[in-house]
């Protein structure tokens, strides 16, 4: 479905702005019908401070984040009850949607560094230091030890090699430029650029036996720009701070791929540990995250060639070399994987005109630690939105479509709570969901950004034009955004949702066509002088353009015309156009998904094979081209052509849906 993720900032003052933005999306989507003459009044009221002050949202954030609340902990269950209570008391009928899923926790960890055979190995403490005066020091003991969720249990020992960000191109440099082979080594990678699960997978593919990932000062520690300061004096990670996270490459409960972990424990089909490993999404070598300080200590033990310039750290860091060795790392991780109970909280405000069309607003609640920014700045906004909807309902407002508020659990482990719910409700969502708006990390520093499927560009523009810049009341957020130097180019968002797609009346499908043409142009450049025929895509884009112009005209006709014979006839027309727009994005998906990433169904944009955080256009073609350039075989180029055909087919499907006629 159409997805939007919005982030606003400037800690306390902007949280209500985010909420306003979030709601602008909803109201634009929901109440833009002429059947609700007073909708603009409700809209204004919704955005006004008269409904409530910033105190309630601040209290929500406090209530959600007073203790560490990792998925399936008692504290997270209490937070779920809090969300349920706020929804319910806002007159939003709500319930828990619980699942039993495979989660992973650390049992024991150790990391030893041998610098010279004469000396005994150095043992890292693997502890994060609370800072002096930390008001939450008393509960810091409840924080789970730093680890990589779903890391392989075991010991790995070998000479250490520094691999920069652990990307495919970094290994290529190591091999081709520096003559370093990481086979049998423990690699040291720095966080950033790519998803940590891909750091581990890429290392495994290169023959490494273990992976240590650290947060480099240059990227996370104030670097050279902020005088080397860190939290609480600045926003940067302290030297002992460690980024915890999942290294699972799939989506949803690894033991129930493609179906919901519903019912009590033991009541649904579940893969064995061996079968889970065969699926290929859990790592097969152990890994550990470490702090910037520990990473630097390991770097000092590495000799060999000096790493290239952009592999280096901040000014006062030691010179980074790539190894292998002479430092030897011995890494041991023992994890416990067990079936645990998680709770999503679901609230439903039934639509007055189209109760069977869903606009979904969601965010997760679970956090590795306290989760003040990620995710609960977004959950606090979600709760504030629920309360404002409650107040609007008291004044007679009803949404046009059904609004579903979702508070997900176990997102940090791999989008588990949302995925299980979607898997369970797949059929209804596939036919009824109009759009999904996500508000993770809603507040976290200055500036505004949003990511969405390209069809929502115009909507985001309109919404930000209606919101006042929290730092300068004489301009709109849109103006602040455009004048900030970062053009409001809306980045395509890789939807992890299985039910990709959909649309709404405000959808501008036409600019999407320009984007498609540009993608083909880029592709042409990339495969010039290869015998690949791109005309099927060009032809399908032409058809799509015609279909888009046609539906745009139909939309304008509906908006302009006042002389409908009956109200019913008008409603049917609107519904028909909306449905076709909604289905168009779904048409870009393909049941078989992307090769090697079958979970991702969208063939126009998606993640790249070696970076789940990345996004690219025509991801299937892009990956096929990379493979073909590497192998240079007729067969591999033939696969590129196959991917070209696949893309041209989904574009054709989209135009057929827009036209709304059978062939
Ligand atoms: C609420 O807003 C006022 C005025 O902008 C500000 O002074 C105050 O610090 C804010 N309170 C919270 C809890 O964010
Ligand atoms: C790296 O070393 C391993 C083990 O010695 C060897 O099997 C592999 O072929 C080497 N890889 C390259 C690219 O040379
Ligand atoms: C690595 O360290 C562990 C102790 O944490 C030890 O049991 C193991 O023997 C070491 N591995 C090697 C290969 O020395
Ligand atoms: C506030 O916005 C107005 C209108 O865009 C602009 O002229 C003014 O310079 C801004 N003020 C500050 C302090 O940035």
Per-residue confidence (pLDDT) for residue 121, from 0 to 100:
97
Per-residue confidence (pLDDT) for residue 524, from 0 to 100:
86
C-alpha distances out from residue 663 to 542, 584, 653, 656, Å: 17, 16, 11, 8
d(CA 18, CA 383): 12
C-alpha distances out from residue 50 to 45, 323, 396, 403, 637, Å: 7, 62, 17, 23, 62
Q: What is the DSSP letter of 138?
A: G
Cα end-to-end distance, the chain, whole Å: 25
Q: Whose CA is nearest to atom 1 of ligand 3?
A: 330
For ligand 4, the distance from its centroid to the CA atom of residue 12, given in whole angstroms, is 21
C-alpha distances out from residue 387 to 83, 85, 557, 602, Å: 11, 11, 37, 35
User: What's the chain's length in residues?
Assistant: 663
d(CA 29, CA 506): 8
pLDDT for 302-311, tens place per residue?
999 999 999 9
C-alpha distances out from residue 620 to 168, 494, 600, 617, Å: 17, 14, 10, 9
Residues linked to residue 306 through DSSP beta bridges, in sequence order: 321
Residue of 470, 474, 480 to test ligand 4 pocket, by largest number of atoms within 8 Å of CB: 474
d(CA 343, CA 426): 18
Residue 305's nearest CA partner among 181, 119, 203 is 181
Per-residue confidence (pLDDT) for residue 511, from 0 to 100:
67
Q: Could you tell me if the CB of 112 is within 6 A of ligand 3? A: yes
3-state secondary structure of 344: strand
Q: Which residues are the active-site residues?
A: 411
CATH architecture of the domain formed by 2-93+350-491: 3-Layer(aba) Sandwich (3.40)
3-state secondary structure of 504: coil
Half-sphere exposure of 84 (CA within 13 A, CB side): 14
d(CA 352, CA 39): 13
Domain coordinates in residue numbering, the chain = 2-93+350-491, 105-337, 508-659
Mean pLDDT of the chain: 87
Half-sphere exposure of 330 (CA within 13 A, CB side): 9
Six-digit token string for 317: 């860091």
- For residue 62, the ligand closest to its alpha carbon is 1
Give the dihedral of Cα atoms 468, 469, 471, 475; nearest 10 deg: -90
Phi/psi of residue 276, each to 5°? -60, -45
- Which atom of ligand 3 approaches the CA of 330 most closely? 1
d(CA 558, CA 33): 11
For ligand 2, the distance from its centroid to the CA atom of residue 181, given in whole angstroms, is 6
For ligand 4, the distance from its centroid to the CA atom of residue 485, given in whole angstroms, is 14
- Which atom of ligand 2 approaches the CA of 184 most closely? 4
Residue ranges lining ligand 2, Cβ < 6 Å:
175, 181, 183, 207
- Which atom of ligand 4 approaches the CA of 474 most closely? 2
CATH topology of domain 508-659: Transcription Elongation Factor S-II; Chain A (1.20.930)
Residue of 10, 475, 484 to test ligand 4 pocket, by largest number of atoms within 8 Å of CB: 475
3-state secondary structure of 452: strand
Q: Could you tell me if the CB of 475 is within 6 A of ligand 4? A: yes
C-alpha distances out from residue 424 to 37, 105, 360, 466, 498, Å: 37, 26, 16, 37, 11
Q: Could you tell me if the CB of 125 is within 6 A of ligand 4? A: no
Residue 144's nearest CA partner among 125, 123, 131, 128 is 128
For ligand 2, the distance from its centroid to the CA atom of residue 286, given in whole angstroms, is 20
**With a cut of 50, which residues of the chain have pLDDT below it?**
1-37, 487-508
pLDDT for 418-468, tens place per residue?
999 999 999 999 999 999 999 888 888 778 888 887 777 778 888 889 888
d(CA 466, CA 46): 12
How many CB atoms are closer than 10 A to CB 284? 11
Per-residue confidence (pLDDT) for residue 492, from 0 to 100:
39
d(CA 474, CA 490): 24
Q: Could you tell me if the CB of 62 is within 6 A of ligand 1? A: no
The full 3-state SS of 12-46, as one line of letters, equals HHHHHHHHHHHHHHHHHHHCCCCCCCCHHHHHHHH
Residue of 177, 184, 207, 324 to test ligand 2 pocket, by largest number of atoms within 8 Å of CB: 207
- Which atom of ligand 3 approaches the CA of 157 most closely? 13
- Secondary structure element (H or E) that encloses residue 362, with its range: strand 354-364
- Which atom of ligand 3 approaches the CA of 112 most closely? 2
Entry pTM: 0.90
d(CA 468, CA 234): 27
Residue of 107, 110, 332 to test ligand 3 pocket, by largest number of atoms within 8 Å of CB: 332
Please list, residue by residue across 124-138, b when 16 or more beta carbons sit within 10 angstroms of its beta carbon and e when fewer do. Answer: bebebeeeeeeebee
CATH architecture of the domain formed by 105-337: 3-Layer(bba) Sandwich (3.50)
Per-residue confidence (pLDDT) for residue 620, from 0 to 100:
93
Q: Could you tell me if the CB of 123 is within 6 A of ligand 3? A: no
Per-residue confidence (pLDDT) for residue 496, from 0 to 100:
29
Is the separation of the CB atoms in 361 and 297 below 8 Å?
A: no
d(CA 97, CA 346): 7
d(CA 206, CA 79): 42
């Amino acid at each position: 479905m159409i997805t939007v993720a919005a982030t606003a900032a400037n800690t306390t003052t902007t949280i209500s702005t985010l909420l306003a933005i979030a709601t602008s999306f909803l109201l634009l989507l929901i109440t833009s019908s002429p059947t609700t003459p007073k909708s603009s009044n409700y809209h204004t009221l919704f955005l006004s401070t008269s409904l409530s002050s910033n105190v309630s949202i601040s209290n929500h954030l406090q209530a959600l984040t007073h203790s560490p609340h990792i998925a399936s902990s008692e504290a997270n269950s209490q937070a779920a009850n809090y969300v349920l209570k706020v929804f319910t008391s806002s007159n939003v009928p709500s319930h828990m949607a619980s699942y039993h899923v495979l989660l992973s926790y650390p049992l024991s960890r150790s990391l030893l560094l041998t610098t010279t055979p004469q000396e005994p190995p150095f043992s890292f403490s693997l502890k994060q230091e609370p800072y002096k005066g930390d008001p939450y020091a008393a509960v810091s003991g409840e924080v789970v030890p730093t680890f990589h969720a779903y890391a392989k249990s075991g010991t790995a020992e070998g000479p250490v090699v520094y691999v920069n960000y652990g990307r495919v191109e970094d290994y290529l440099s190591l091999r081709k430029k520096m003559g370093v082979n990481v086979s049998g080594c423990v690699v040291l990678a720095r966080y950033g650029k790519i998803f940590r699960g891909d750091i581990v997978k890429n290392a495994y593919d290169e023959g490494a036996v273990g992976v240590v990932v650290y947060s480099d000062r240059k990227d996370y520690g104030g670097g050279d720009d902020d005088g080397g300061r860190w939290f609480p004096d600045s926003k940067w990670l302290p030297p002992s701070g460690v980024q915890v996270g999942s290294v699972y490459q799939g989506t949803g409960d690894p033991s129930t791929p493609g179906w919901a972990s519903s019912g009590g424990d033991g009541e649904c089909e579940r893969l064995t540990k061996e079968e889970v490993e065969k699926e290929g999404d859990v790592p097969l070598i152990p890994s550990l995250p470490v702090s910037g300080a520990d990473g630097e200590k390991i770097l000092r033990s590495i000799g060999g060639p000096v790493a290239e310039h952009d592999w280096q750290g901040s000014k006062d860091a030691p010179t980074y070399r790539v190894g292998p060795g002479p430092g030897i790392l011995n890494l041991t991780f023992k994890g416990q994987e067990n079936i645990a109970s998680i709770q999503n909280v679901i609230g439903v405000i039934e639509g007055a005109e189209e109760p069977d069309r869903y606009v979904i607003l969601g965010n997760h609640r679970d956090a590795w630690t306290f989760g003040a920014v990620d995710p609960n700045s977004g959950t606090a906004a979600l709760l504030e939105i629920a309360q404002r909807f409650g107040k609007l309902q008291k004044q007679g407002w009803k949404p046009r479509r059904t609004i579903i508020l979702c508070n997900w659990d176990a997102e940090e482990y791999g989008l588990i709570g949302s995925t299980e719910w979607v898997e369970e409700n797949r059929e209804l969502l596939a036919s009824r969901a109009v759009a999904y708006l996500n508000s993770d990390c809603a507040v976290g520093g200055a500036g505004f950004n949003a990511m969405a499927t390209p069809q929502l560009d115009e909507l985001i523009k309109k919404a930000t034009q209606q919101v006042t810049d929290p730092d300068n009341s004489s301009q709109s957020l849109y103006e602040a955004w455009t004048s900030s130097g970062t053009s409001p180019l809306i980045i395509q968002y890789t939807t992890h949702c299985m039910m990709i797609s959909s649309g709404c009346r405000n959808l501008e499908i036409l600019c999407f066509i320009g984007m498609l043409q540009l993608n083909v142009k880029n592709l042409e450049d990339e495969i010039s002088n290869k015998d690949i025929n791109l005309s099927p895509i060009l032809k399908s884009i032409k058809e799509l353009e015609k279909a888009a112009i046609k539906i745009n005209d139909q939309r304008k006709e509906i908006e302009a015309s006042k002389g409908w014979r009956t109200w019913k006839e008008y409603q049917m027309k609107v519904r028909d156009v909306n449905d076709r727009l909604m289905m168009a994005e779904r048409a870009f998906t393909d049941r078989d998904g992307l090769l090697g990433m079958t979970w991702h169904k969208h063939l126009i944009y998606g993640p790249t094979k070696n970076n789940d955080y990345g996004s690219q256009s025509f991801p299937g073609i892009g990956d096929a081209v990379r493979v073909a350039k590497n192998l240079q075989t007729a067969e591999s180029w033939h696969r590129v052509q196959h991917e070209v055909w696949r893309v041209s087919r989904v574009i054709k499907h989209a135009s057929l849906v827009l036209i709304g006629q059978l062939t």
